[in-house]
Amino acid sequence: MTKQERLIIFDTTLRDGEQSPGASMSREEKVRIAKALEKMQVDVIEAGFPIASRGDFDAVYAVAEAVKDSTVCGLARALDTDIDRAGEALKPAVSARIHTFIATSPIHMKMKLRMQPEQVLEQAVVAVKRAKRYTDNIEFSPEDAGRSEFEFLCRVLEAVIKAGAKTVNIPDTVGYNLPEQFGDLMARLIATIPNSDQAVFSVHCHNDLGLAVANSLSAVQQGARQVECTINGLGERAGNAALEEIVMAVKTRQDLFNCRTGVDSTQIVPCSRLVSNITGFPVQPNKAIVGANAFAHESGIHQDGILKNRETYEIMRAQEVGWTANRMVLGKHSGRNAFKSHLQDLGFQFSTEAELNKAFFAFKDLADKKHEIYDEDLQALITEARTEDYHETVKLISLKVCSETGETPVAEVILSVQGVGEQSALAKGSGPVDATFKAIELIVHSQTQLLLYSVNNITSGTDAQGEVIVRLGQGDRIVNGHGTDTDIVIASARSYINAINKMAFPEEKAHPQIGDV
C-alpha cells in the first residue's frame, strides 16, 4: 500500500466526542478508550484540549504515556498559551501531533473572534510556527471552513502549509454542507492551493443534517486522505461522522475508493460498547454497523434469502465488525490469576492489590448470580467499580421494592449521605423505578431534572446484567450516571445516585470553540 492510498483515521471521540453534553470522561476512562482505539489500529487519537482544565491536561498526558502505536494529538486554539500547554501534555508521546485551529468564516471572524481576516491569517501562521517548537507533526483547521469564502480559505491554507502544517483539516463545523458541494470544495482546494501536495487534506464533518458520513466520504472521493470521526458518531450537538460507518463504507465499497484504512474492523463492536458504557450514551438498535439490529434479519423473506445465499441481503459479515456470538470467558470457578490476566488482555491495569481485590470480589458476586461471564460483563463491572470511587457523597446501602399486580409499587431506600450518616425513605410510584427515584429524592433533594432514562442488556438472556443510564440536568449542566446489575431496579438506583454524585462536583472546564479560557 503506498502512502497516497492510505486513508488516515483520526479519532476524536476523546475530544469532540467529549464535547457532547454529559459525555465527559475521567482520565482513567480516556486511557481505556485510547487503548481500545490503539488496538483497533486507529492512526491518530485526539485525546483532548489540554488547556481546558487540569483534568484535561492530565488525561492527555496519561493517554500520551499509555499509547505507543498510534499518534496522540492535543487540540489548541491558535494561541501561544494553548499551544504550549498542548506541547507539555504531549511530552511522553512516542508520536505526538498538535492540532491548532482558528475560525475563517465571515460570521465567526466578525461575531466570535472580532478580528479582521488578515489578523486571522497572521495568527494561524504564528500558531503553526509556535507548534513547531514541540513537534513536526502539526495539523491546522480553519474552523467553519464549510461556510468560509473560498479565496480566503485558499490563502490561509497555503500560508499554514508554508509555515509547516503537515495536515490541513477542512471542518464542516455546523454540519451545513451537502455531499456533492463538500466533495467539490475539497477537489477545488486541492487543485487551487499551489503547495497542496505538501500536506494531507483531511475532513471533519458534523451531523446536524445527518450528512456527516456522506460529506466525509464525498471529500475522500475527491482527494481527502484523512477522516476525523468518532466511535458511535458521538460529538458536539448531532455528533461527528461515525468511525465505524466510514471504515466499513471504504472497506465494503473498494470499487469506489482508491484508498484503504489500516483499521482492524473486528475491534469496532467491542470499542463501540466500551464508549457507550463509559459515556452513558446508548447506541440505537437500528444504528448502522454497531446497532443491535444491524445484522438481525427479522422478516421471513429476508431470512429465506439469507439461508439460500448470504449475499442476497447482507453486504458485510457480522464477524468482520466484531459481532461474535457471546463468548463465555470466565465463570464461578475462575481464580484470581485468570481474572487478572483476562482483564489485562482487555487493557485494564490495576495499580494496587486492593484495587484488584475489589474488582475480583465484585466478579465473584456477579458469578454467583450469573454463571457465564462475558467480556462485556467484565467491562461493565470495571466501569461500575471505578464509578463507585467517583466522589461518593451519596451511597446506596439497601433497596427494597414491592411490586404487585393491582397495587401501587412502593420502594424503601437506605442511603448513606456524607456528613449526615444513614437515612431511609419510603415512596410510592407509578412503577418500581419511579418509586425508587422518588424515595431517593426524599433524602437528597437534588433539584435536578430527569432528562433520560434508558435500560440496555449487556449480554443476552434473562440473567443478563442490565445497564441503566440516567441523565440529569440542572441549569445548563448535564450529567450522565450509569449503573449495572442483574436486577434492573438496583441498577437504576445506582445510576441515579451516580448522576447525583457527579452533579455535586462541577468540573470547571473550558470549551475550545465557545468562550474564553
Please report, as ranges, the residues that interact with ligand KIV according to CB under 6 A: 16, 101, 141, 143, 171, 173, 204, 206, 512-513
Under DSSP, is residue 322 helix (H, G, I), strand (E, B) or coil?
A: coil
Residue nearest to Zn ion (CB): 16
CB closer to Zn ion, 16 vs 376: 16
CB closer to ligand KIV, 169 vs 265: 169
CB closer to ligand KIV, 73 vs 415: 73
Residue 143: contacted member of Zn ion, ligand KIV, none (CB under 5 to 8 Å, by partner type) = ligand KIV
CB closer to ligand KIV, 102 vs 479: 102
Q: Which own/partner pairs from 282-288 qualify as long-range (CB within 8 Å, at least 24 positions apart)?
A: 282/454, 282/456, 282/469, 283/232, 287/232, 287/233, 288/242, 288/244, 288/245, 288/248
What is d(CA 405, CA 397) in angstroms, rounded to the nearest whole number? Answer: 27
Read off the C-alpha cell for 426: 419510603
From residue 383, give the alpha-carbon distance in Å to each of 6, 38, 287, 482: 35, 19, 24, 9
What is d(CA 489, CA 482) in angstroms, rounded to the nearest whole number? Answer: 12
Where do the DSSP E strands lie in 268-345? 330-331
What is d(CA 383, CA 376) in angstroms, rounded to the nearest whole number? Answer: 11
Task: Confirm if 141 and 204 have CB atoms less than 8 A apart.
Answer: yes
- Shortest distance (Å) from residue 45 CB to ligand KIV: 15
CB closer to ligand KIV, 174 vs 472: 174
Residue 101: contacted member of Zn ion, ligand KIV, none (CB under 5 to 8 Å, by partner type) = ligand KIV
- Shortest distance (Å) from residue 214 CB to Zn ion: 17
What is d(CA 228, CA 222) in angstroms, rounded to the nearest whole number? Answer: 16
What is d(CA 283, CA 286) in angstroms, rounded to the nearest whole number? Answer: 8
Task: Confirm if 40 and 100 have CB atoms less than 8 A apart.
Answer: no
- Shortest distance (Å) from residue 203 CB to Zn ion: 11
Residue 88's CB: how many other CB atoms inside 10 A? 15
From residue 150, give the alpha-carbon distance in Å to each of 106, 117, 165: 11, 13, 19
What is d(CA 109, CA 103) in angstroms, rounded to the nearest whole number? Answer: 6
- Shortest distance (Å) from residue 494 CB to ligand KIV: 33
CB closer to ligand KIV, 213 vs 411: 213
- Shortest distance (Å) from residue 27 CB to ligand KIV: 21
Read off the C-alpha cell for 211: 450528512
- Shortest distance (Å) from residue 193 CB to ligand KIV: 18
Residue 142: contacted member of Zn ion, ligand KIV, none (CB under 5 to 8 Å, by partner type) = none
Task: Supply angle C-alpha 9, 281, 172, rounded to 5.
Answer: 45
The one segment of 10-18, 22-30, 361-369, 501-509 that binds Zn ion by CB under 5 A: 10-18
Q: Which amino acid is at 236?
A: E
**Residues 11-40 within binding reach of Zn ion (CB under 5 A):** 16
Under DSSP, is residue 197 helix (H, G, I), strand (E, B) or coil?
A: helix
Residue 459: contacted member of Zn ion, ligand KIV, none (CB under 5 to 8 Å, by partner type) = none
CB closer to Zn ion, 16 vs 43: 16
- Shortest distance (Å) from residue 70 CB to Zn ion: 19
Residue 20: contacted member of ligand KIV, Zn ion, none (CB under 5 to 8 Å, by partner type) = none
CB closer to ligand KIV, 204 vs 494: 204
Task: Supply angle C-alpha 509, 515, 517, rounded to 5.
Answer: 50
Total of residues contacting Zn ion (CB under 5 A): 1
What is d(CA 72, CA 419) in angstroms, rounded to the nearest whole number? Answer: 42
Residue 141: contacted member of ligand KIV, Zn ion, none (CB under 5 to 8 Å, by partner type) = ligand KIV
Residue 201: contacted member of Zn ion, ligand KIV, none (CB under 5 to 8 Å, by partner type) = none
Residue 215: contacted member of ligand KIV, Zn ion, none (CB under 5 to 8 Å, by partner type) = none
- Shortest distance (Å) from residue 282 CB to ligand KIV: 23
- Shortest distance (Å) from residue 156 CB to ligand KIV: 14
CB closer to Zn ion, 143 vs 467: 143
Residue 502: contacted member of Zn ion, ligand KIV, none (CB under 5 to 8 Å, by partner type) = none
- Shortest distance (Å) from residue 143 CB to ligand KIV: 4
CB closer to ligand KIV, 239 vs 466: 239
- Which helix (H) or strand (E) segment holds residue 60: the answer is helix 54-66
- Shortest distance (Å) from residue 341 CB to ligand KIV: 39
Task: Confirm if 228 and 15 have CB atoms less than 8 A apart.
Answer: no
46 binds Zn ion (CB under 5 A): no
CB closer to ligand KIV, 167 vs 492: 167
- Which residues are at the interface with Zn ion (CB under 5 A)? 16
